Every structure is written in C-alpha cells, then in structure tokens.
Amino acid sequence: MQTHLALLPGLNNTAALWDEVARQLAPIVQTYAYTSPPLDNVEDIASDWLDQLPEHFYLCGTSFGGYVAMAMLELAPERILGLALVCTNPGADTEAQVAARQKAIATAEAGDYEAIIAAQIAVAVHPDRLTDVSLLAARAAMVHEYGKQRYMAHLKAAIARPDRTGLLTGFSGKKVLVAAAQDKLFPPEAMKALAQATSTRLQIVEGSGHLLALEQPGLLATVLSSWLGEARKVVP
C-alpha cells in the first residue's frame, strides 16, 4: 500500500522548504507539500490541506505548520496515521508571544517585509549557515514568494490558535517530536519537557537552527524515514 506523507511548511516558508527532504524520501513515500493559503486562522488552513490530501496519510508539520497539523488532527483524527512535529509545539501563544506577533504585524504592514525577515536570519539558522550563500538565497526566494499578506495572515492565525496539547497526548498513532540542537525558537530543553509531558518520543538533530528542513534535510529525512517505518508496523 502506498504511503502518503503531508509536509507542512512554517512561517515565511513555501512548499520549497521540503524539496530536498521529499527527494530523499521519494523511494519509500509519496509526499505532499503545498504553500499554506493566506488565511488568518489555522482551522481554515487545516481544512484547505485536508481537501487536497488522500483519505489516510501521515502528517508532518514544522513551526507554523505544526500549528496547522494540530488543527488537522482535531478536525479529522480518523484520517491521520502518524504525526511528526518538527521545531514546533501544540500549545497556544503566551501573552508575550501574542504581543511580539502583534508588533510584527504592525512592523510588516508599515515597512519592507522582505528586508525585515532577512534581518531575522540569525534567529532562523545555525550560526555556521550565516555565510551559506545557497541557503540564504533559497530562504530569500521563499520569503519573496510567500509575501507580506500571507505573513500577516499567518501571524494572526498563530495568535488565535488554542492549546491543543491534549490532542497530542491522546493521539494513539505513532508520534515523534523533532528538535534542532541550535534552535533558538523551540530549544531542545523545551522540546524535552513537551516530550515528557505528552509521552512522545523526541529526536534531536545536531548542526541546525530552526530551519531544520532547509539546513539538514538529509538528517531530517532519516528521522522521518525511521518514524514512518515504525508507524507502518502498527497501522493495520
């Protein structure tokens, strides 16, 4: 039976984020990667994804894509065979995060969105990647395609999302959390605490910041391949 895997990109990411991961997984799985639509709530984005996917599939979301993945799990748990959350969490924003996102919306609306995001590169990647010309160009191309309106809509969606941690705890399919060792947004310590609280296996990938799928696609593909292999053993 064909294995179907949905790959959900994060904030300021297009489907291109997953290109190399998908290429490396191609021998064993049919992947589906789209750029999430510019809607301002995760439930509508989740519904859009569900409309484009097969009846049953494995699900992987990174960062903002993890928020959408959790909404998909709430909307259609019977369709999801396994869940991987990469550099993300199923919770809601804190008050400080809400304030930061609201400020980011106002700043983007008033300024040069692409320049603003370009200036945040040190938070997004491993320090060693700051001189990686091809990676920086790939990120810049995604940001250009993604666009300011989608960015502001997704920030609003992130602000409004509820805490879905209980769904992760209760999910009976094979699940895995994947952290990047140098991720400044979702550090390994926080991911370890989430893994313990939700009885979820954690994999930590070295040599990467937050953009794990872009920085270390081969290592991430290996983690996902292992997870899929284990998940398929328990799916009838």
Share above pLDDT 70 across residues of the chain, in percent, rounded to a whole number? 98
By the 8 A CB rule, do 146 and 35 touch? yes
| One-letter-per-residue 3-state SS of the chain | CCCEEEEECCCCCCHHHHHHHHHHHCCCCEEEECCCCCCCCHHHHHHHHHHHCCCCEEEEEECHHHHHHHHHHHHCHHHEEEEEEECCCCCCCCHHHHHHHHHHHHHHHHCCHHHHHHCCHHHHCCHHHHHCHHHHHHHHHHHHHHCHHHHHHHHHHHHHCCCCHHHHHHCCCEEEEEEECCCCCCCHHHHHHHHHHHCCEEEEECCCCCCHHHHCHHHHHHHHHHHHHHHHHHCC
pLDDT, average across residues 134-157: 97
Chain segment 104-134, per-residue pLDDT in tens: 999 999 989 999 999 999 999 999 999 999 9
Distance CA(94)–CA(20), nearest Å, equals 33
Q: What is the dihedral of CA 139, 220, 56, 42, to 10 degrees?
A: -40
Q: Does domain 4-95+152-234 have CATH number 3.40.50.300?
A: no
CA distances from 107 to 40, 46, 63, 98 (A): 17, 27, 21, 14
By the 8 A CB rule, do 140 and 114 touch? yes
Nearest alpha-carbon partner for 154 in 61, 81, 18 = 61
By the 8 A CB rule, do 24 and 213 touch? no
By the 8 A CB rule, do 82 and 173 touch? yes
* Domain residue spans of the chain: 4-95+152-234
Chain segment 149-208, per-residue pLDDT in tens: 999 999 999 999 999 999 999 999 999 999 999 999 999 999 999 999 999 999 999 999
Look-up of token digits 């804190």: 94
By the 8 A CB rule, do 195 and 116 touch? no
The pLDDT-based confidence of 28 (bands split at 50, 70, 90) is confident
Mean pLDDT, the chain, integer:
96
